[in-house]
Amino acid sequence: MTTQQRPFNFGPGPATLPAEVLQQAADELPNWHGSGMSVMEMSHRGPEFIAIYEHAVSGLRTLLDVPPDFHILFLQGGGIGENAIAPLNLSQGGVLDFILTGSWSRKSYEEAGRYASAARIAANGKASGHTGIPPAASWNISPDAAYVHLCSNETIQGVQFQELPDLAALGADVPLVVDCSSDIASRRFDWRRIGMAFAGAQKNLGPAGLTLVFVREALLGRALPICPSAFNYELVARNQSMYNTPPTWGIYLVGLMVDWMLRQREGDLSGLAALEVRNQRQAAKLYAALDASDFYINRVDPAVRSWMNVPFTLADAQRDEAFLDGAARRGLLQLRGHNSVGGMRASLYNAMTDEGVDALIAYLQDFERRQA
């Protein structure tokens, strides 16, 4: 199948990957670099895989501009696993504050209450139906909090922090923990504002089964005694993510993805800066098309609309199935919204092309015209 023939995949995760990355993985699958082994068959302690690991870590550090006092860890357990693993490592049994902006931050809050002495809600966007984010100045942060948790991009509601809050400027001397599962590597982050960030790889970076954790050296050594060793950030960091067998195939694919991301260009920009411009352009185009019509609805405050996940509903939900069938026939896949909110969702991760977004917009307009 050539690049041109592939359908456009708008799935929320596991999600679309660049055809050239998949092709490279296919070419290298049975015999990686003449080693006589597939990456899946190699010892994680052998020289071949150590090279693959080091390539992925250093590539991520370069691409995302991760400061030297952060460790980059490769774990398993996904974003949902981190909802427990983060408090096991960082709560010290104390109080945690949560900024509730949608389904994912709520899930994190509910899970953390099992490991911290208290999980508190410092701000809640529920009153607006999570169409907005309460301004940081209104957050009620506990002075004794072990950390503040937020989700930088709510994959289901489609609300995104356009920039991360500066907790120190708010008078809170508290680490910030960020679930960036669905916007990691889609734009630049101000690492100075982050204590720890985590992300499942399967939205923007590779296959499911690999979780990335970016954690400051200063936050290591705080794990509760009951924290499983395989999830103890300090132990994993001191063992270069090889305390136990890491998800080797995922790490290899992240390395290929990072190479691809570093190759991307938009005008004079390259790497993450180029992807940021491209992602913002694609999202703006799609929101403009939705806003131009009464047939489609997205109620999220334009100031906090996600660049990665664009949920929308049809004014007449009776037409949902016809919309999805017609989309699939045109090679526009996985547009069904999350079952908790219904409607549609177009995810525009890094591997989504301008052609894919243009094809979706043309379909939106055609479908509306044919229903009139």
Ligand X SMILES: *Cc1c(COP(=O)(O)O)cnc(C)c1O
Please report, in range form, the residues annotated as the binding site for L-glutamate.
45
Task: For residue 234, give Cα distances in angstroms to 149, 162, 210, 220.
Answer: 20, 31, 18, 5
Least distance from ligand X to the Cβ atom of residue 110, Å: 13
Q: Is 179 a catalytic residue?
A: yes
Q: Which of 264, 276, 342 is closest to 308 using CA atoms?
A: 276
Q: Is 97 in the site for ligand X (CB under 6 A)?
A: no
Torsion-angle region of 298 (φ positive above 0: left; ψ -120 to 50: alpha; else: beta) = beta
- Taking 3-state DSSP, the helix, strand and coil percentages for the chain, each rounded to the nearest 5, stand at 40, 20, 40
| Residue 350 lies near ligand X (rule: CB under 6 A) | no
Site string for ligand X, 132-171 (x = CB under 6 A): -------------------x---x----------------
> Which residues from 6-65 bind ligand X, rule CB under 6 A?
13
Residue 87 touching ligand X (CB under 6 A): no
For the bound state, the minimum distance from the C-beta of residue 83 to ligand X, rounded and expressed in Å, comes to 8
Using the rule CB under 6 A, give the single segment among 78-86, 114-122, 273-281, 344-352 that binds ligand X: 78-86
- Catalytic-role residue among 32, 139, 179, 183: 179
Minimum Å gap between C-beta 181 and ligand X is 3
Name residues whose C-beta falls within 8 Å of residue 258's C-beta, 6 or more positions apart in sequence: 56, 59, 60, 62, 63
Least distance in Å: CB of 206 to ligand X?
12
Task: Identify whether 14 is preceded by a cis peptide bond (ω within 30 of 0).
Answer: yes
Of 11 and 81, the one with the shorter C-beta distance to ligand X is 81
Q: Which of 10, 104, 295, 307 binds ligand X (CB under 6 A)?
A: 104
Residue (82 or 368) nearer to ligand X, CB: 82
One-character DSSP codes across 217-254:
GGGTT---TTS-GGG-HHHHHHTTT-SS---HHHHHHH
**DSSP, res 210:** -
Query: Phi, psi at residue 25, to the nearest 5°?
Result: -60, -40
Active-site hit among 104, 139, 249, 307: 104
Written as six digits, the tokens of 23 are 């092709």
Binding mask 181-200 for ligand X (x = CB under 6 A): xx-----------------x
* Smallest separation, CB 178 to ligand X (Å): 10
Between 116 and 151, CB nearer to ligand X: 151
Tally of CA atoms within 13 A in the half-sphere of 250 that contains its CB: 25
- Residue 107 among the catalytic residues: no
Binding positions for ligand X, rule: CB under 6 A: 13, 78-81, 104, 151, 155, 179, 181-182, 200, 203
Which residues are annotated as catalytic?
104, 179, 203
